[in-house]
Amino acid sequence: MARYLALTCEALARPVYAAAAGSPHTVTVQFYRQGLHNTPKKLRHTLQDDIDAVQPGEYDAILLAYGLCGTATADLVARHTPIIMP
């Protein structure tokens, strides 16, 4: 069974929880305030800090459930854990 970390906006809480509950894998969900969309640079830094905090082997992948969000997800870097963004 794979272990995933889902980083997402609180506006997507219901569909993300539904997807996590229906998954055969372990999905840890971490939400961010919807208001961070208004400050894309801050959102990008916050996401990158949390991506960097993941320890090697802690998760099989990091799932980003975000849209364009003011290009906040542009240039995010996976240090050692793959990032998947649908």
Q: Note the pLDDT of residue 83.
A: 97
| pLDDT tens-place string over residues 52-83 | 999 999 999 999 998 767 788 889 999 999 99
Domain layout of the chain by residue ranges: 1-7+19-65
Residue whose C-alpha is closest to residue 32's, from 49, 19, 56, 18:
49
Whole-prediction pTM: 0.91
Q: Is there a contact between 76 and 51 (Cβ–Cβ < 8 Å)? A: yes
pLDDT for the residue 53: 98
Backbone angles phi, psi at 64, to 5 degrees: -100, 115
